[in-house]
Amino acid sequence: MTLKKIALTVLAIPALLSAMVLLTAAKKPAPTSFEALVVKLDGTSVLLSAADEKHFKQVAVETDSKTQVLVAGKVATLADLKPGQRVIVSPPKGTAARIEQKTPRHGKTPESGLLDGAMVSAGSGRVTFLSPQSNGEIAQIEAATSDKTVVMIDGKPTSPADLKAGQYVVIAFTGGSVRRIVVQSAKAE
């Protein structure tokens, strides 16, 4: 093999590898819907707590007379949606064509560490919240609280009774129980 052929081969390898990477990198199709938690209804709009990557943010979604609402698989009205319900909204941008209430999947309470999500309910020594999972799905997680659980809302100490459905929460776990719950109020986008 001549020096010229070796040089051409060496130069061609990176170009060939780049082409292979471009050909094998499949583009993800644009999402046709998104999953969220109902925070509140306001006229013809719905304030939702929706997962963005691995965190939740509040999003206002507009509806109109053509928006189809389904609750428990049956045709319903916007007024039938309740705070804390998990919904699938389509399309992901603009006026909602369809809002469907879904039953959440149940996730595992971690032994220790942090999880973030959207509050569903609190009471009787337990909190329930929705949290994005590594597979992109949203799971409902129930965890035990105690009199030692610290709750902070916007930097002020409070109690689990002050937690409301749809609030964005960061929860610290130790020994499978909730050690700390932090809420930072978010503004709708």
The fold of the 34-102 domain, in CATH, is OB fold (Dihydrolipoamide Acetyltransferase, E2P) (2.40.50)
- Give the model confidence (pLDDT) of 93-149 as tens digits: 899 999 998 876 677 777 788 888 888 888 878 898 888 776 667 788 888 898 899
Domain 105-183 top-level CATH class: mainly beta
For 59, the 3-state DSSP assignment is strand
More confident residue, 55 or 110: 110
Task: Round to whole Å and give the CA distance between 169 and 123.
Answer: 15
Ranges of each domain in the chain: 34-102, 105-183
Q: Is the entire prediction scored with pTM above 0.75?
A: no
Query: Within 10 A of 18 (CB to CB), how many other CB atoms are there?
Result: 10
pLDDT recorded at residue 76: 92
- Which pair of tokens denotes residue 70? 């389904």
Name the phi and psi angles at 188, rounded to 5: -70, 145
pLDDT at 1 exceeding the cut of 60 = no
Tell me how many degrees the CA angle 173-118-150 measures, rounded to the nearest 5: 40
Task: Round to whole Å and give the CA distance between 53 and 144.
Answer: 27
